[in-house]
Structure 1
């Protein structure tokens, strides 16, 4: 890590997104150096063991949001710490646990190229990067981002050209979603090239980008990037966020920059046990977002067979209870749609369960199970 020549230079460094990434905390030693007392805490053993197979990454900005005790050790229940540092127990052999073998969101027939998924009729999602500003330990793209060695291909020119050809020959594709990993880990130059090539395929394409940069490294949202998004025709940006403490002054500044050039900002929120699975927390998060002009769009039930299943998974009934209580008590635009992300497509959970087409029941082992009919009219069991 370079030593700043002055306090002013140090402050300037910390507001440079590339400096943040260069100084990411990515080892147990780096964490123990940043957080005195961690190495002698009960958390450290699990952390060191889990990092044998799991990636770690915290920007200095994100580390600064984590609350600590008098010794400088992160509080075990801090909602930022819990999201990005694997301090919980291993996956074990519990039902729905992650096995490190397959992504349960992707079906082989949907991957029309190695980086392009065509699940829904009028849109495709492009996996533009295998890296992130920091690593959510519950990511359902674990084989792309959380595994120490990625099992998924990165962005290659040949596969990008193949993807452009697919979009160009399928006029039913009206929208392209840039995701990852984290698409904003790409340089402005590279991102501009991708947007420009998509525009050349069909000028009418709607372009959307999903990011967690505003929580993890808000300095990435520069004036230059915002202008690039505008010139590239990006019409919507989806922000991934889980807790109201992520909404800082820097987060708000990044939102305002994006709003100056991007027509629509919305938020996707994962429902996580011990982090945001209560009414007051969700109310605070959604109302803050709504007040900033960011629509809380989806509240995602935790996906089974993803990392951290034992740590993060909540009952579906918990999500239903939270959103049901929000309805009519909060501004309706601040109430997210509660969805189950299923390998056959998202399902909007009705707030009145046990309707004819939706049954909340339990399997032979007592695990909560949702039986429903999906958007294609196909019967589904969640989880399978």
Structure 2
């Protein structure tokens, strides 16, 4: 039984999402005490990494970890390894602390509005999250201590509204971040009302990892808001079947009562979910609760812990080929490379075509995966 279970688990405090955020663990000594300890070398790695990046873990998520811990060390737990910066300096790989995974300068129409694909824009509503995935695709925005990335403010949001209103090609707006559910109900409603006022036909989509880290954020007020402003789709970010708790499923059901489409985006992470058994269970368990597994994202290279989390594309193709034969099609996501030039759906090839794209190539002893993106541009990915 964890320290949280002994004190307030099951109480009204426990299910108050604000209490969860207020009592999140943010330093190594407190986390080590709650988790039962680890060696001094691990402590030194975590402390060193926290000079550059944030850690924040809700009591709910710590309880998920501790209640599912088997005979292995907590430091081997797939949930613990997502939210704790446990690696040494050699694990940074391609990450240099300045490179972007996803945002190109010309795509940023305002400090928070990104227009990459023709018919939709992403609004980065906040730089904060319920807890911090240490592999975050938006590491410079969310993980970096003292980030220089602009946060959403009144001016940038109003400028974004103006851009959306005056760009007829835009059919959909995606609220992302950070996590848009970190906004207060008042602020989120204000933003949703402004977007819905543009057009009844505008598609509004929300992406959030709150259901994994703090499912109590899905309150009656939030559900009513999603219904009132006719939110069309809700994307839940999830990594591992152990995150699909009863509280997660309950939060999903509440959203499903008012939002027509609920789907999941999942990163592929080495040592966490890059095996057939784990992915099989993740896809099928999501299907069981009515969530469509949508994208399995290959880990982005410009993130902390790059060489720790980065899986092999060829191994991923093998996994997905095998799962394709064993898992219902409706439960199979697309396997995609989220490249700065635009994401690419990786074909599940049984063999390599040496003279055609996509293909694996060797350069200076390093393996690369080359492909053409949605815009016909030649792209290359340094494979693990």
Relative to the length of structure 2, the TM-score reads 0.93
- 1:51 matches 2:50: yes
Contact 2:35 2:66 in 1 (8 A): no
- 1:317 matches 2:314: yes
Contact 1:360 1:371 in 2 (8 A): yes
State how far apart, in whole Å, the 2-side matches of 1:122 and 1:51 are. Answer: 39
- Of stretches 315-324 and 351-360 in structure 1, the one that deviates more from structure 2 is 351-360
State how far apart, in whole Å, the 1-side matches of 2:281 and 2:261 are. Answer: 21
Contact 1:69 1:75 in 2 (8 A): no
Q: Does the C-alpha gap of structure 1 residues 203 and 69 become closer, same or farther in structure 2, counting only changes over 3 Å?
A: closer
Equivalent position of 1:88 in the other structure:
87
Once the two structures are TM-superposed, the CA of residue 74 in structure 1 deviates from its matched residue by 5.5
- 1:370 matches 2:369: yes
Contact 1:369 1:381 in 2 (8 A): yes
Q: Deviations over 1:140-183 (max 9, x none)?
A: 10111000111200111011111000000001000000000000
Q: Does the C-alpha gap of structure 1 residues 371 and 8 become closer, same or farther in structure 2, counting only changes over 3 Å?
A: closer
State how far apart, in whole Å, the 2-side matches of 1:91 and 1:206 are. Answer: 43
- 1:350 matches 2:371: no
- 1:159 matches 2:159: no
State how far apart, in whole Å, the 2-side matches of 1:310 and 1:359 are. Answer: 22
Equivalent position of 1:254 in the other structure:
251
- 1:183 matches 2:180: yes
Once the two structures are TM-superposed, the CA of residue 43 in structure 1 deviates from its matched residue by 1.9
State how far apart, in whole Å, the 2-side matches of 1:106 and 1:370 are. Answer: 21
State how far apart, in whole Å, the 2-side matches of 1:107 and 1:59 are. Answer: 32
Once the two structures are TM-superposed, the CA of residue 360 in structure 1 deviates from its matched residue by 1.4
State how far apart, in whole Å, the 1-side matches of 2:91 and 2:327 are. Answer: 39
Question: For 1:299, what is the secondary structure of its paired residue?
Answer: strand
The one of 255, 262, 269 equivalent to 1:265 is: 262
Question: For 2:75, what is the secondary structure of its paired residue?
Answer: coil
State how far apart, in whole Å, the 2-side matches of 1:350 and 1:8 are. Answer: 49
Q: Does the C-alpha gap of structure 1 residues 69 and 341 become closer, same or farther in structure 2, counting only changes over 3 Å?
A: closer
Once the two structures are TM-superposed, the CA of residue 271 in structure 1 deviates from its matched residue by 0.4
- 1:301 matches 2:272: no
Equivalent position of 1:233 in the other structure:
230
Q: Deviations over 1:160-210 (max 9, x none)?
A: 111000000001000000000000000111000000001112221100000
Question: For 1:371, what is the secondary structure of its paired residue?
Answer: strand
Once the two structures are TM-superposed, the CA of residue 318 in structure 1 deviates from its matched residue by 1.3
**For this pair of structures, how many residues does the alignment match?**
377
Question: For 1:162, what is the secondary structure of its paired residue?
Answer: helix
Contact 1:55 1:148 in 2 (8 A): yes
Once the two structures are TM-superposed, the CA of residue 365 in structure 1 deviates from its matched residue by 3.2
Contact 2:104 2:340 in 1 (8 A): yes
Question: For 1:45, what is the secondary structure of its paired residue?
Answer: helix
Contact 1:67 1:74 in 2 (8 A): no
Equivalent position of 2:360 in the other structure:
360
Matches within 5 A, 1:276-295: 276-295=273-292
State how far apart, in whole Å, the 2-side matches of 1:73 and 1:317 are. Answer: 29
Contact 2:108 2:115 in 1 (8 A): yes
Question: For 1:381, what is the secondary structure of its paired residue?
Answer: strand
State how far apart, in whole Å, the 2-side matches of 1:153 and 1:87 are. Answer: 28
State how far apart, in whole Å, the 1-side matches of 2:72 and 2:374 are. Answer: 47
Relative to the length of structure 1, the TM-score reads 0.93
Once the two structures are TM-superposed, the CA of residue 29 in structure 1 deviates from its matched residue by 2.3
- 1:66 matches 2:74: no
Once the two structures are TM-superposed, the CA of residue 28 in structure 1 deviates from its matched residue by 1.2
Once the two structures are TM-superposed, the CA of residue 104 in structure 1 deviates from its matched residue by 2.2
Q: Deviations over 1:213-268 (max 9, x none)?
A: 11100000112111101111111000110100001010011011111111000001
Equivalent position of 1:171 in the other structure:
168
Contact 2:17 2:216 in 1 (8 A): yes
Equivalent position of 2:134 in the other structure:
137
Equivalent position of 1:33 in the other structure:
33
Once the two structures are TM-superposed, the CA of residue 11 in structure 1 deviates from its matched residue by 1.1
